[in-house]
Amino acid sequence: MACQMEASRTELIQVDISNPEGDMIFHSSASRLDFKGYQAVYEDTEASGSSESPEGEAAHQDNFEALSKLKMKDLASPVNVNLGQHFTKPPSRYSEGALIKKMEELGIGRPSTYASIMRVLQDRKYVTIKSRVLHPEFRGRMVSAFLSHLFSEIADYSFTANMETELDNVSAGSTEWKGLLTDYWERFSKYCTDASQWDVRKVERMLEEKFLPILFPDLDTDSRVCPSCSEGTLRFKVSRYGEGYFIGCDRHPKCKYIARTLSDEDDENETSEETPKSFEPRLLGVKPDTNEKVFLKQGPYGYYIQVGEDRKGASQKRAPISEVKDINSITIEDAIELLQYPKVLGKHPDDEHPVLMTHSKAGFSIRHRRSLAPVPKTHDPKKVTLERALKYLTGKNVKKFGRPKGKTNKNAEPIEWH
């Protein structure tokens, strides 16, 4: 019945009140229902929210009557001043449908190309879809910044739209296709020539300057001294084969310190709009027997314990840390416990070779010559004896490692590969 009835009519009043100087304006508005129309028989609670209480309707009516009594150039005096703070929110992220609609408005692409565009964005990991919303990945941000900086005309919104129009003119016969391609290639080849003059380090500096608030959210230029060597500066770097990105010391390979790696997980945590902080080496204490300093550090493969400071040409003893919920809970006692590995449990009764307990990021393992058996995570490694270690070495999870078949070595033992 409601869809056959007249539309409702609402009376609206908007008032602007300013000070004599005109540099401060206050805005107020009020409304009241003048004609119910279809609302006399139907109330859309989903569209209008919860129904208004009688007290709320009375307050709206009073506001409307108060504003309706005002006339142009009436003098108004403040009675009470209530301070309120409001924050603007950024535009909501695009969904696939919203992005396609925006491309249609800009004249980019055609209905037959929209599906392939969305597929390429996801296949190349430029964006990820979470709850039907597109989230840009750091790789996508970098590619966009690179193209906008070095191929400004090609990356401009209007370029694709204009090219679509030119191709339509070619199809209609009003534009000669060879001239169109010649003109395009002359401009595009110039951009390619200019871009080829940029080496990787120059691109890294450009991207670092572009994404400085994201890469170093809590550090300024003066406080980006490498905490490991105290000589270099923390910089944004692209891995050798362009597959990863990290924050590391610019004195590499002399200093191999890496503050943190940048991956897709960094963008997954973007819901809070925060960037993970860089982890600086932490002094846990000193070893009782040698009085050497023991540090907690972070590398490209996770956290680890190191004895002594980094010294050129010296190899420091290190111990990886397995999965730890709270990295700040590690103490000097925990570090000393990890540094005792690999630990000799005894000699194997068959060949008198040592049986070792080793520790890696994956956990504890028993090693005998070229045999490696994992210690079950349900077992306490402190209670593993030589007898129990021998049982692990005869279990089904034993792995063999060594020289593959085909390599010529007379002293090599035959290896059975699993």
Smallest CA-to-CA distance from 228 within 282, 265, 147 is with 282
Per-residue confidence (pLDDT) for residue 275, from 0 to 100: 36
The helix (run of H) or strand (run of E) holding residue 181 is helix 177-196
List, as one string, the DSSP characters of 5-18: SPPPEEEEEEEEEE
CA atoms of 374 and 378, how far apart (whole Å): 11
Contact 402, 370 (CB under 8 A): yes
Write out the E strands in 159-210: none
Per-residue confidence (pLDDT) for residue 53, from 0 to 100: 65
pTM of the model: 0.47
Per-residue confidence (pLDDT) for residue 408, from 0 to 100: 46
Residue 344's DSSP bridge partners are 356
Per-residue confidence in pLDDT tens, the chain, 418 aa: 888 999 989 899 999 998 888 888 888 899 888 898 988 898 765 445 445 567 767 777 888 888 888 888 888 888 888 888 888 888 889 999 999 999 888 888 888 889 999 999 999 889 999 988 999 988 888 899 999 999 988 888 888 888 888 888 999 999 899 999 999 999 999 999 999 999 888 988 998 888 888 787 766 555 678 877 778 888 888 876 656 778 888 887 788 787 777 755 444 444 333 334 456 778 888 888 888 888 888 776 678 888 887 776 667 788 888 766 677 788 888 888 888 888 888 888 888 888 888 877 777 888 888 888 888 877 887 788 888 888 888 887 777 765 544 444 445 444 444 4
Which residues, 6 or more positions from 408, have their beta carbon under 8 angstroms from its beta carbon? none
Per-residue confidence (pLDDT) for residue 49, from 0 to 100: 46
Per-residue confidence (pLDDT) for residue 270, from 0 to 100: 43
Question: Angle at the Cα of 105 (from 100 to 111), degrees rounded to 5?
Answer: 45
Per-residue confidence (pLDDT) for residue 120, from 0 to 100: 92
Which residues, 6 or more positions from 211, have their beta carbon under 8 angstroms from its beta carbon? 141, 142, 145, 236
